[in-house]
A and B are shown apart, each in its own frame.
Chain A
Amino acid sequence: MDSLLEVRGLCKYLDGQIVLGACSFSLAPGHITGLLGPNGAGKSTLLRTIAGLWRPDGGEILLHGRPISRRDRPKVAYMADHTLLPRELTVRQAVRWYRDLFPGLDLDRFRAVSGNLPEGEPVSRLSKGQAERLDLGLLLARDADLYLLDEPLGGVDPVERAKILSAAAGVMEDHNALLMATHLVHDIEPILDDVLFLRAGYVVLSASAEGLRQREGVSVEEKYMEVFGGGDR
């Protein structure tokens, strides 16, 4: 299977410090990949660099086999760990605003992921969980090839989180891929196809989640504890 995204030897320095050191991995089309690692491992930096917000200091990023460029921006949907919507807009207005920015927004998908939201309420008055559902719903409603999520759904309770994640998994098609940085290994595990473990800027494990369970008899969470449990935090 040709990879949708291929990252080869990606390096990134910030303030003279190596944040990413020669990261290499690829994402298969139709797959959801969990980007896991302790705080400071470089997860957010990796996502921001792939999203094109930061320039790499070395290595290459290939989308569909070609070096990613400014023109690919609309095909890469990136969500930071905070809301980017104008906070004074109501939910209804925010959705319209977002649809102007990203034509082709799939409203059915938006509703499936975001669930019920108070449409007349200003974004600033939403609860943390509601705001996260709004953000994630909008992002996944975009017609993108690659979705990059940085710690989604941290403010949502576990029951609701499971529901939203199922809906998010349903967004996947053969032509897109999703890479998600998260600490919520346990909750997110059932929807992951693959995992990438990042430690101090290096990929220390790249594996299929079912493969781990099948070959090693361990869950992603157990593998995580095995790899990072040694006091990396």
Chain B
Amino acid sequence: MQFSNSVPIYLQVMEDMKREMVTGGLPAGSRVDSVRALAARYGINLNTMQRVCSELEREGLLETRRGVGSFVTGDWERLSALREEMAQTLVEAYLKGMAGLGFSRLEAAERLSGEEGDGGQSAGSQRAL
């Protein structure tokens, strides 16, 4: 994974794991690798990876069972709420980006309905933030 320079790495890795959780790469209830293995996979230090896991735990997305390991929450409602939160973030980023170019909310919304079926747009506006 390539990291953006100026955003704390723990936030970037959290984002990546959240995306995996809502897209099925890390399904509900599945076991996640050890902190050590995850740190190696992301190429980051253990302390940062530890922080990612404890923040995800705090958000109710990971559950650690002592002596067994960590698991993605089995709570479907929590995961669908996460998906909503992520969608909301994208929408806000889009609207903010459009407002920055002088488009009103209405114009921004109309623009979207004109782009129906094109999935590439929102991903692009998120990256721009």
Contacts and interface: CB of A to CB of B under 8 A. Distances in A.
Interface residues of B, number: 19
Nearest to B51: A210
A154 interface: no
Q: How large is the interface on A (under 10, 10 to 19, 20 to 34, 35 or more residues)?
A: 20 to 34
Interface string B39-54: 1111111111001000
B9 A190 contact: yes
Nearest to A214: B8
Q: Is the interface of B mostly helix, strand, loop or mixed?
A: helix
B40 A30 contact: no
A191 B44 contact: yes
Given A32-B45, A191-B45, A166 B6 contact: no
A193 interface: yes
Given A166-B39, A170-B39, A213 B46 contact: no
Contact of B5 (A162, A193, A210, A221): A221
Interface in B33-89: 36, 39-48, 51
Interface string B103-124: 0000000000000000000000
A213 B8 contact: yes
Contacts of B7: 213, 217
A189 B2 CA distance: 11
Q: Which 7 A-B pairs have the closest CB atoms?
A: A219-B5, A166-B43, A213-B8, A217-B6, A166-B40, A191-B45, A214-B8
14 contacts: A162-B43, A166-B40, A166-B41, A166-B44, A172-B46, A190-B45, A191-B43, A193-B45, A213-B6, A213-B8, A213-B9, A219-B5, A222-B5, A222-B6
